[in-house]
Structure 1
Amino acid sequence: MTATTPPAVHVITGATGFVGGAFALELLQETPDHLVCLVRGDDDAAATRRLHDALGHAAEMYDVPGLLPAILERTRAVAGDITDDALPACADRFRAADGTAPGTFWHVAASLKYEDRHADEINLMNVTGTHNVLELAKALGEPVFNHVSTAYVAGRRTGLMHEEFPGDTESANNVYEATKTIGEQKVAASGLPWRVLRPSIVIGHSATGAATSFTGMYGFVSSALRFRRAVEKEFGNLLQHRQVPIIADPDIECDLVPVDLVARSAVAIGRTGALGTVYHLNNGGSPTVGEVIEEVFALTGLRKPRFVSNRGLLTAIDLKLDEGIQFYASYMINGKRFDQTNTESVCGAGAQRFDLDRAEVSRFVRWYLDRIESDGRSSAPARASFAFKGTRRVAATAG
């Protein structure tokens, strides 16, 4: 009689979110393993209901309804918060019913805010939270710790970014990038067996175009749409007669990567990839910044933009858009490419590639705009609102 190996147990933070949810679905699809997820809730039962709702929604969005039984049978939640210093004391609740400790820990939860005014919250989530989950992992017997960071810890540096640690926070464009760099350093110094996974700008599912959260590219789309609507409300058809200037280098890469591509490579790396290693989960088939911005402008009712190099060429009206997209500014001017040597050593050459031409960019943006319309929203969610008080005098000369 052949002995069978019992299913492994994974712990995941952020499983109710966009990237973490995709990781959970990929693990359910590719392994027989069980998932224990840290989820906010009044108790474990409430947290588990929230987890099942989130993963069920993701399965529907990504057209994998066959995973619904696995979600119900092989996932459960422990109610908790990564910002809670007492989290390590809850370690026993993450063990399997027979007492088996998890063999792999996936830390995906993070704050994606970036403004200095949110610095305390961002640090609490991305630095203190990472410390707390590292301590939880130690209390669980030191499972392999797969830490999800961002390729943009590269900050203001340009050129080819290798799969290695940046070493400091001096090149960071904002507090978000700085805290993700510190988080990586904490992982490397933890004494745990670790891997660092660095996605680039994550967008919807490659097949369905669907997403379950709307940051990154979707926030830029929202800003363009809200800008157009605000200008029309204040100045009528002004934007039908002029190109809006935008500070960007149209020829550099805009590294957009579908969420399922990220999840597929992450799970492959998490099963067989070398420890103590950084892996870029970006897209080898990315479009250019110019292609993305031009498609977004066209689909949100704006004329083709005029690419400029400094704020001195912007009118008071243009500066409103510039202020509204500040989070994205560094991605539009600091050209960089991400080495995939380590990722390809596990996943194979070309595995981390999805060719995004203009038609594909349009497909993802159209899905999002259709979602906004079907939700009946009068305006799209965005990081900034647009008010033009005191700018009416520039309308006549804003050509």
Structure 2
Amino acid sequence: MLTILVTGAAGLIGGEVCARLAKRGHRMIGMVRRTPDIRGNDGAPVNGVTVVAGDVRQPLMGLEPAAFDLVIHCAASLEFDAPQEELSAVNVEGTRNAMDFAKAAEAGFLHVSTAYVCGQRDGPIAEGPVPEGTRFTNRYEASKAAGERVIEEGGTAFAIARPSIVLGDSATGRIRQFPSLCNVFRLMARGKVTRFPAAGTASLDLVPIDHVAASIVALAERFDAAAGGHYHLVAADPLPAAELAHGVARAAHLPDPVVVRPADYDPAALSPAERLLAGRMLATFGPYFTRSPRFDDTRLREVTGLSCPATDNAWLDRLIAYGVERGYLPQPA
């Protein structure tokens, strides 16, 4: 049995990781900042977790170091366009504070980053440190890469887990909190965005939450073997970006957005309302619809023995059905 502290335990990934590790008999401490409610992806409260209040922006996260085997650092600011000061305070200095706590507690440090620290690179992406000179799409990516550098230079035993874009459970489509990318799909499903600019070669790496959580659990339980490594928690087959629009039309009661090449996309031809909404959408996500990184996960599979379940059209249908069931997507008339 391990004694494990999870930061960001009230979040989507942190809550599901707590649920799985507690069920496996580990002594769990969940650190939260505002919400003391720790729930798994099924929405049920997690039993067997001691809740503590902390803040990654404070030295040692405002906690007294105690005996831990491992700190799993899930806490982060996830807003792509958040102010630089906020992203630096949480994703960079906050990571330093969490790592310092792990060092003081003589614990290993398992950090949850993002596969998209690859920035604007295309093609095969290895499980290793972010290369010097990488150009990033937004401040969020840059802050997560800077957080990784803090860890790599910090002098404590570490492993870095890099999920891609986390969506619903592979078997049920269930997700406790819809991530921001889902709003792109929602805008098209509601007929608010009718034209979707995407390069023909572009892809999105969408990964089920159960694979992400199971991988983090496996890395935690095999931390001695995992230490020093970077691990991609990603899909076996990325989704062509255009399928985000085509997926809307897979539900008979939803509209069929038109996919256009980015060079042919003319905002002036849109209604004022759509031009405003689409402009905001593309300011945040547009670059992800123009490139195709391919994340290698060989080392994750070697250390954990886990492979991602199929992320095919059947899974996409389950995601859509769950979104409709929850009322996040439009109901049939």
Corresponding residue SS for 2:156: coil
Residue pairs, 1:14-25, within 5 angstroms = 14-25=8-19
Amino acid paired to 2:288: Y
Change (3 A) 1:373 1:106: closer
Deviation of 1:246 after TM superposition, in Å, equals: 2.2
Equivalence for 2:279: 323
Deviation of 1:147 after TM superposition, in Å, equals: 0.5
Q: Mean alpha-carbon deviation: is it higher for 306-315 or for 184-193?
A: 306-315
Equivalence for 2:144: 180
Equivalence for 2:155: 191
Amino acid paired to 1:139: A
Corresponding residue SS for 1:325: helix
The separation in 2 between residues aligned to 1:375 and 1:358, in whole angstroms, is 20
Q: State whether structure 2 residue 36 is matched by structure 1 residue 26.
A: no
Residue pairs, 1:209-358, within 5 angstroms = 209-225=173-189, 228-229=191-192, 244-272=194-222, 273-296=225-248, 299=251, 301-310=254-263, 313-314=266-267, 315-317=269-271, 319-326=275-282, 327-348=284-305, 351-358=306-313
Q: Which protein shows a greater Rg?
A: 1
The separation in 2 between residues aligned to 1:20 and 1:217, in whole angstroms, is 19
Corresponding residue SS for 1:91: coil
More helix by share: 1
Percent of matched pairs sharing the same residue: 28
For the aligned residues, what is the CA RMSD? Answer: 2.5
Q: State whether structure 2 residue 88 is matched by structure 1 residue 123.
A: yes
Unmatched runs of 5 consecutive residues or more in structure 1: 1-6, 42-46, 96-100, 232-243, 377-399
Equivalence for 2:97: 132
Once the two structures are superposed, what CA deviation does each residue of 1:71-128 show, in whole Å capped at 9, x if it has no partner?
43x311111111123635x224xx3xxxxx110110011111011x522222221112
Q: Which of 27, 36, 57 pairs up with 1:83?
A: 57
Once the two structures are superposed, what CA deviation does each residue of 1:208-236 show, in whole Å capped at 9, x if it has no partner?
2111112143222233346x25x8xxxxx
Change (3 A) 1:216 1:354: farther
Residue pairs, 1:26-175, within 5 angstroms = 26-29=20-23, 31-41=24-34, 50-51=36-37, 54-55=38-39, 58=40, 60-61=42-43, 71-72=46-47, 74-85=48-59, 87=61, 90-92=63-65, 95=66, 101-115=67-81, 118-141=83-106, 143-168=107-132, 170-175=134-139
Checking the alignment, whether the CA contact within 8 Å between 1:194 and 1:276 is kept in structure 2 is yes
Amino acid paired to 1:256: L
The separation in 2 between residues aligned to 1:304 and 1:222, in whole angstroms, is 12
Number of aligned positions between the proteins: 324
- TM-score when normalising by structure 1: 0.74
